């Protein structure tokens, strides 16, 4: 589904996957926001489940990611404004926001900016703040494909997660690596990997944002997450008075523990 998103810089084309169902703004809306160097496809299972169980689904491609036009936005605050503008473009008055990794920061900031528009806030694989190691930023700057490989290793806690994933012939490590390389190569930005990780590294307003959120909140954390260790979410969980669910996975929890992540979201949203 294409969205004509109005921003201070002008109207941009944004894209959202609707879970295989026509988008109906009259249904309860749920919006999925992906992480660094990902796109809407990381939400396929969750998007399809909610679209087939009474929700209007928008799994967004952020600017310069996937099918959404560039240029990339360079701060969590600007990305949060873009998400809220995407809701306007889809005629959505209020929604559940679900964000993973970088997307969790964007969802948090959007909920702080427009508390009356967010019914529930779900943060997956989050850390507040979310600093990036200087060595990784430098590798992202000088050798982004090498940095992608490094992040891919740290994002997975298992070689092959079963029984939910992979299916016959699939490989979670290889799939994520291929997705990140594809998003990097297709982006109008010369080095989207670096842009995304600098966005995460620079965001300092997470705890202040959490204090402005007025809706119920939940966190889903990976017990073996090396990119955003569960202890790094303790302060934001307390500030949000959030329900916290831990799943047996690393940072790539939607592929390593798909059923557990879906169950956690279903339980949080009632």
**Cβ pair 203, 130 in contact under 8 A:** yes
pLDDT at 174: 87
**Cβ pair 39, 14 in contact under 8 A:** no
For residue 83, give the nearest of 54, 104, 101 by alpha carbon: 104
For residue 131, give the nearest of 222, 200, 35, 74 by alpha carbon: 200
For residue 103, give the nearest of 32, 203, 23, 184 by alpha carbon: 32
Residues whose CB is less than 8 angstroms from the CB of residue 3 and which lie 6 or more positions away in sequence, other chains included? 13, 14, 15, 16, 86, 89, 90
Strands (E), the chain: 2-7, 10-17, 29-33, 56-61, 95-100, 118-124, 217-222, 243-247
pLDDT at 160: 59
pLDDT tens for the chain, 270 residues long, are 999 999 887 898 999 999 999 999 999 999 999 999 999 999 999 999 999 999 999 999 999 999 999 999 999 999 999 999 999 999 999 999 999 999 999 999 999 999 999 999 999 999 999 999 999 999 999 999 999 999 999 999 976 555 445 555 567 888 899 999 999 999 999 999 999 999 999 999 999 999 999 999 999 999 999 999 999 999 999 999 999 999 999 999 999 999 999 999 999 997
pLDDT at 248: 94
pLDDT at 158: 77
**Cβ pair 221, 196 in contact under 8 A:** no
Enter the tokens of residue 266.
């279903």
pLDDT at 171: 77
């Amino acid at each position: 589904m294409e969205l004509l998103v109005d921003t201070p810089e002008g109207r941009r084309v944004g894209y959202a996957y609707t879970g295989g169902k026509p988008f109906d703004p009259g249904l309860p809306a749920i919006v999925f926001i992906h992480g660094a160097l990902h796109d809407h496809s990381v939400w396929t299972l969750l998007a399809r489940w909610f679209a087939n169980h009474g929700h209007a689904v928008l799994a967004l491609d952020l600017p310069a990611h996937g099918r959404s036009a560039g240029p990339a936005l360079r701060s969590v605050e600007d990305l949060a404004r873009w998400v809220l503008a995407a809701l306007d473009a889809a005629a959505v008055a209020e929604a559940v926001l679900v964000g993973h990794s970088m997307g969790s920061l964007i969802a948090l900031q959007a909920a702080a900016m427009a508390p009356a528009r967010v019914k529930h806030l779900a943060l997956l694989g989050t850390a507040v703040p979310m600093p990036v190691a200087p060595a990784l930023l430098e590798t992202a700057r000088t050798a982004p494909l090498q940095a992608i490989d490094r992040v891919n290793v740290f994002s997975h806690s298992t070689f092959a997660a079963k029984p939910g994933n992979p299916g016959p012939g699939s490989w979670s490590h290889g799939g994520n690596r291929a997705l990140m390389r594809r998003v990097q190569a297709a982006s109008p930005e010369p080095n989207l990997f670096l842009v995304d990780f600098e966005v995460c590294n620079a965001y300092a307003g997470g705890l202040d944002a959490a204090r402005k959120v007025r809706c119920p909140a939940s966190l889903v954390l990976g017990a073996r997450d090396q990119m955003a260790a569960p202890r790094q979410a303790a302060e934001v969980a307390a500030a949000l008075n959030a329900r916290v669910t831990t799943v047996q996975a690393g940072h790539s929890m939607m592929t390593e523990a798909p059923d557990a992540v879906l169950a956690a979201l279903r339980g949080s949203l009632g």
